[in-house]
Amino acid sequence: MTTRNKVRETLRLFQAIFRKLLQEEESKMKEKGRAPKRIDILAAKILKEKGKYVNTGKQIIGPVPGIEVGDEFQYFVELNLVGLHRQSQGGIDYVKQGDKIIATSIIASGGYENDLDNSDVLCYMGQGGNVMQKGKQPEDQKLERGNLALANSRFVKNPVRVIRGETKASSTLLEARGKTYVYDGLYSVEEFKQEPGPHGKLVYKYTLVRIPGQPELTWKVVKKSKVREGLCVHDISLGKEVIPISAINTIDSEKPPPFEYVCHMIYPDWCRPIPPKGCGCTKGCSELGKCSCVMKNEGEIPYNHNGAIVEAKPLVYECGPNCNCPPSCYNRVSQHGIKIQLEIFKTESRGWGVRSLNSISSGTFICEYAGELLEDREAEERKGNDEYLFDIGNNIDSSLWDGLSNLLPDAHSSSCQVVHESGFTIDAARCGNIGRFINHSCSPNLYAQNVLYDHEDTRIPHIMFFAAENIPPLQELTYHYNYMIDQVRDENGNIKKKTCYCGSSECTGRLY
């Protein structure tokens, strides 16, 4: 396994453990006098005890193996997990080199009035001096510890990693961190000086310049202009989705292929799914009551209060049309449609792909794979559209929940029912939604989840895509098509072969 994949695996495990522990805490929130726990610290402790931290050896100066520019982290402790920034709280990390200490990484955020504009120059204020501590008198910052290390880096000329902290709204009482952290790359310290700060006391100010030759920062691309370069279609959904879905092509003059955009599944005349009997929860479903939908999910609601799916399962039951709970019930996540700003874009070698202009947190619902429901026999008769066929029952990957159950033995790792090879296929060639444009990857960042809510036929669940990890803006969204090598045949029974161009370090070279 490459270091990059070790980093991704560790972060995925952290996020999965966090959501599972958060689920347990949310179920106890009604208990009076309980102070919410720091779930992020608890999750990191479990990983540390299991030896899952990455890059744990000697302090690293410069790039950290497995970390790429633009990587996003939802919690400060994740920076520790992967060795990007080892301070548990401090904004300046440093290491001793010879008889001096030099800076290895800094957290640049609004906390010390750091200048985070669109240029490659960062103005960074030193730490200390009680600048941000309420109830304490401000004082002059001292040239010691991190401040001294950053000053020394000005003369040593070593690269310093910059992690940008962005303030964000907390979605639940148990998520009080309020920041997202983005790795912006390597900078050099060009200048430092001491001058009066915002409270009249002396502070240290450093000027850091981004080292050339690194990937462009995606947040700068997104903020450059409201009018996107290469925009060829304003909204491929023609107003059917709440948020318009643009088409971007900076490769050639081609426009997206014609098809009918639909937001929901199309069932044939012979298939009339019957809505199940609903639960009686009038104020929203809870694991503390006797909710029938909760019982179908082995006694737990499959989502956190913020809408993130807790863990991958063979089958998830959401509340349906006959349930008495309101639309705001948090067991209806996938029914509310697309909530993030998606766009399709022309790729270099794989046709059209899908990406988001937003940061996506692990566990976030992306979209459904909508299209026409066909029996496998009929699907095989439709020639030339293999790329738009989704074989129901062929999307189960037990590795999605095996890692979590190994670290948390008490965690429920599967629902009581499993979707087996069903004999049905979804065809999105003629009618479909944005899901039809999501490409395959041998190392994907999404996974397909079977979901039931408007019927109980386990042969034909809805196929819903969820984020398997944190995904930064403009990173292509992909899932694993799960084709079996040498098992795809043409109408004459001959084995079909197709090259995989995903570019992943784990690429097998063949799609099928």
53 belongs to a structural domain: no
- Both 187 and 125 in one domain: the answer is yes
* Residue 72 CA from chain centroid, whole number: 9
Q: How many residues does the chain have?
A: 512
Residue 176, pLDDT score: 46
Residue 217, pLDDT score: 86
| Last residue within a domain, chosen from 171, 204, 224 | 224
39 belongs to a structural domain: no
Q: Which residues are CB-contacts of 168 (< 8 A; sequence separation ≥ 6)?
A: 178, 179, 180
Q: Which two tokens stand for residue 71?
A: 């990587």
Distance separating alpha carbons of residues 320 and 406, to the nearest angstrom:
32
- Both 433 and 457 in one domain: the answer is yes
Q: Which two tokens stand for residue 257?
A: 């292929």
104-129: pLDDT as tens digits:
999 998 644 455 555 789 999 998 88
Angle at 211 between CA 93 and CA 54, to 5 degrees: 40
Residue 100, pLDDT score: 95
Q: Which residues of 163-199 are buried (b: 16+ CB within 10 A; e: fewer)?
A: bbbeeeeeeeebbebebbbbbbbbbebeebeeeebee
- Both 173 and 278 in one domain: the answer is no
Residue 421, pLDDT score: 65
Q: Distances from the Cα of 333 to the Cαs of 244, 301, 399, 412, 492, in angstroms?
A: 20, 11, 23, 20, 43
1-42: pLDDT as tens digits:
789 999 999 999 999 999 999 998 888 766 555 556 789 999
372 belongs to a structural domain: yes
49 belongs to a structural domain: no
Question: What's the N-to-C CA distance of the chain in angstroms?
Answer: 23
Q: What 8-state DSSP symbol labels residue 476? A: P
Q: Distances from the Cα of 10 to the Cαs of 48, 321, 396, 491, in angstroms?
A: 10, 39, 21, 44
Among residues 198, 210, 56, the alpha carbon closest in space to that of 123 is found at 210
Distance separating alpha carbons of residues 406 and 12, to the nearest angstrom:
14
Q: Which domain holds residue 139?
A: 64-76+86-224
Number of compact structural domains in the chain: 2
Q: Is the pTM of this model over 0.85?
A: yes
Residue 173, pLDDT score: 45
- Both 262 and 285 in one domain: the answer is yes
115 belongs to a structural domain: yes
Q: Distances from the Cα of 274 to the Cαs of 422, 455, 457, in angstroms?
A: 18, 5, 9
164 belongs to a structural domain: yes
- Both 186 and 280 in one domain: the answer is no
- Both 410 and 329 in one domain: the answer is yes
Residue stretches of the chain with pLDDT short of 70: 29-36, 110-118, 131-135, 168-178, 224-227, 383-385, 394-406, 409-421
- Both 143 and 268 in one domain: the answer is no
Q: Which residues of 308-326 are buried (b: 16+ CB within 10 A; e: fewer)?
A: bbbbbbbbbbbbbeebebe
320 belongs to a structural domain: yes
